[in-house]
Amino acid sequence: MNPNLSQILVIDIETIRSTSTYDELTERMQKQWEKKAFNLRNLDEITPDEMYMERAGIYAEFGKVIVIAIGFYVYQHEEWHFRVRAISSDDEKKLLEKFIEVISKFNPKTTYLCGHNGKEFDFPYVSRRLLVNGLPLPELLDTAAKKPWEVNHIDTMELWKFGDRKNYTSLDLLAALFEIPSSKSDIDGSQVSQVYYEENDPTGVGLERIAAYCARDVVVTAQLLLKLKGQPLINEKNIHIVE
Residue 38 lies in a domain: no
CB contact burial 63-84 (16+ within 10 A = b; e otherwise) = bbbbbbbbbbbeeeeeebbbbb
Determine the pLDDT at residue 191: 74
Q: Is residue 48 part of a domain?
A: no
The pLDDT score that the predictor gives to residue 186 is 63
Residue 43 covered by a domain: no
pLDDT, tens digit (0-9, with 9 covering 90-100), for 31-64 = 999 998 888 766 557 888 889 998 999 999 999 9
* CA-angle at 165, arms to 118 and 232, nearest 5°: 55
> Is residue 34, in this structure, part of any structural domain at all?
no
The reported pLDDT for the residue numbered 180 is: 94
Domains held by the chain: number: 1
Which among 188, 197, 189 has a CA at the least distance from the CA of 18? 197
Q: What is the pLDDT of residue 182?
A: 74
**What CATH number corresponds to the domain at position 227?**
3.30.420.10
Inside any domain, residue 35: no
In a domain, 129, yes or no: yes
Are the C-beta atoms of residues 108 and 116 closer than 8 Å to each other?
A: no
CA distance 95 to 238: 27
In a domain, 26, yes or no: no
Residues of the chain with pLDDT under 50: 202-203
Query: 57 in a domain, yes or no?
Result: no
Give the three-state DSSP class for 164: coil
Residues in the chain: 243
The boundaries of the domain holding residue 203 are 5-18+62-242
- Distance, in Å, from the CA atom of 42 to the CA atom of 210, rounded to the nearest integer, reads 31
